[in-house]
């Protein structure tokens, strides 16, 4: 039985890997944990994969997976999750900015305190202001949208129960929102732990400022997909009905206003088609109909998908 799986997505980190490996091994042996280290090489162009192969020869606890090209951190994490066998799965970055000394306490929070997921919080960061200020804004918006009170959603150091990583899917750039995905899949006991953030020792960061714009778009995407994947008509139909009613009411108001003026001999009386508001109301009505039809089509597609009823089951009793 494996106690801990350490999943490490990496891209061009050949200098830091031996030191990170040795550090993890020291921690595991000191605490007498049965472990595996899963290193997922995300299409590195340096010697990272060769280093992983050498470490695997030295230590049978090391498992390596190499992509043909760079797919992104989410793909690396998802692949590592699929390979993990430990009761607790720990993710950490390969750049030595995450400390393996945090692993035992994260393991205890999952196994003893019963959390489904524990996210690290780098309260004291060694990053420039150009990175820390957008990060604070990103975390604030994510808290607002998700209702999860975490300070650092994007921290690479996290711990999970095995069943959490087995029942969530991370794709695109959704690794930033794993706590959000976990919550909306029914894993609601999410904790946070202040962790050490270390200055980068080798190389340079692989992420630019564009990740914050992409992150916001991903948040909108994951919010829609998780809430309305199985009931798209609730989203499109509601918006379509609202739009249609607004357009209909504006049109009805214009017609009633004209008739009122005619009956009461109030001049001047403009034709309805001479008023820009009439054409605006027509546009709103058409948009409403289109949204409603979009919801109907999405509902038909949802009915046809083989995974429509892939609901997560927490426990079973006397049922195979």
The answer to whether 287 and 242 have CB atoms below 8 angstroms apart is no
The average pLDDT across 111-140 equals 80
Query: What confidence score (pLDDT) does residue 93 get?
Result: 92
Query: What confidence score (pLDDT) does residue 2 get?
Result: 93
Contacts 24+ apart (CB under 8 A), 74-79: 74/170, 74/171, 74/172, 74/173, 74/174, 74/175, 75/42, 75/171, 76/9, 76/10, 76/11, 76/40, 76/41, 76/42, 77/7, 77/9, 77/40, 77/170, 77/175, 77/178, 78/169, 78/170, 78/171, 79/40
DSSP 34-95: -EEEEEEE-S-SSSHHHHHHHHHHH-TTEEEEE-SS---HHHHHHHHHHH--SSEEEE--SS
309 falls in which pLDDT band (50, 70, 90)? Answer: very low
Query: What confidence score (pLDDT) does residue 4 get?
Result: 96
Is 206's pLDDT higher than 60?
Answer: no
Among 140, 226, 230, residue whose Cα is nearest residue 178 = 226
Query: What confidence score (pLDDT) does residue 319 get?
Result: 47
Is 212's pLDDT higher than 70?
Answer: no
User: Rounded distance, CA 182 to CA 165, Å?
Assistant: 9
185 falls in which pLDDT band (50, 70, 90)? Answer: confident
pLDDT digits (tens, 9 = 90+) for 14-38: 999 999 999 999 999 999 999 999 9
Query: What confidence score (pLDDT) does residue 304 get?
Result: 64
Query: What confidence score (pLDDT) does residue 207 get?
Result: 54
The average pLDDT across 229-249 equals 83
DSSP 163-216: HHHHS----TTGGGGHHHHHHHTT---EEEEE--B----SS--S--THHHHHHH
311 falls in which pLDDT band (50, 70, 90)? Answer: very low
Among the residue ranges 32-36, 237-241, 250-254, 311-315, the one predicted with the least confidence is: 311-315
317 secondary structure, DSSP code:
S
- Count of other CB atoms within 10 angstroms of residue 72: 19
Query: What confidence score (pLDDT) does residue 136 get?
Result: 78
Among the residue ranges 31-45, 67-81, 123-137, 178-192, the one predicted with the least confidence is: 123-137
The average pLDDT across 205-221 equals 62
Is 184's pLDDT higher than 90?
Answer: no
* Higher per-residue pLDDT: 2 or 129: 2
> What CATH architecture applies to the domain 4-228?
Alpha-Beta Complex (3.90)
Query: What confidence score (pLDDT) does residue 210 get?
Result: 59
The average pLDDT across 282-301 equals 83
User: Rounded distance, CA 311 to CA 147, Å?
Assistant: 22
Is 120's pLDDT higher than 80?
Answer: yes
The answer to whether 142 and 174 have CB atoms below 8 angstroms apart is no
Q: How high is the mean pLDDT of the chain?
A: 83
312 falls in which pLDDT band (50, 70, 90)? Answer: very low
């Amino acid at each position: 039985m494996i106690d801990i799986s350490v999943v490490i997505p990496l891209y061009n980190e050949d200098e830091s890997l031996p030191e990170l490996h040795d550090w993890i091994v020291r921690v595991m042996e000191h605490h007498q944990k049965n472990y595996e280290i899963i290193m997922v090489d995300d299409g590195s162009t340096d010697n990272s994969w060769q280093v992983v192969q050498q470490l695997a020869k030295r230590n049978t606890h090391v498992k390596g997976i190499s992509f043909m090209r760079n797919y992104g951190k989410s793909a690396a994490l998802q692949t590592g999750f699929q390979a993990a066998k430990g009761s607790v799965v720990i993710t950490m970055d390969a750049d030595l900015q995450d400390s393996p000394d945090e692993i035992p306490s994260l393991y205890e929070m999952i196994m003893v305190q019963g959390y489904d997921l524990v996210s690290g919080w780098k309260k004291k960061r060694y990053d420039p202001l150009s990175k820390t200020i957008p990060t604070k804004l990103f975390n604030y918006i994510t808290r607002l949208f998700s209702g999860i009170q975490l300070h650092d959603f994007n921290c690479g150091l996290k711990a999970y129960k095995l069943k959490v990583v087995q029942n969530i899917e991370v794709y695109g750039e959704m690794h930033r929102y794993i706590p959000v995905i976990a919550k909306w899949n029914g894993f609601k006991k999410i904790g946070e732990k202040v962790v050490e953030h270390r200055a980068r020792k080798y190389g340079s960061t692989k992420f630019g400022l564009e990740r914050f714009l992409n992150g916001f778009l991903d948040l909108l995407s994951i919010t829609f997909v998780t809430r309305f994947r199985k009931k798209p008509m609730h989203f499109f139909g509601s918006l379509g009905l609202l739009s249609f009613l607004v357009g209909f009411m504006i049109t009805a108001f214009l017609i009633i206003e004209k008739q009122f003026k005619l009956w009461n001999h109030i001049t001047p009386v403009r034709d309805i088609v001479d008023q820009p508001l009439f054409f605006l109301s027509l546009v709103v009505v058409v948009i409403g109909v289109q949204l409603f039809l979009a919801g109907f089509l999405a509902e038909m597609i949802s009915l046809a998908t083989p995974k429509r009823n892939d609901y997560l089951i927490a426990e079973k009793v006397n049922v195979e």
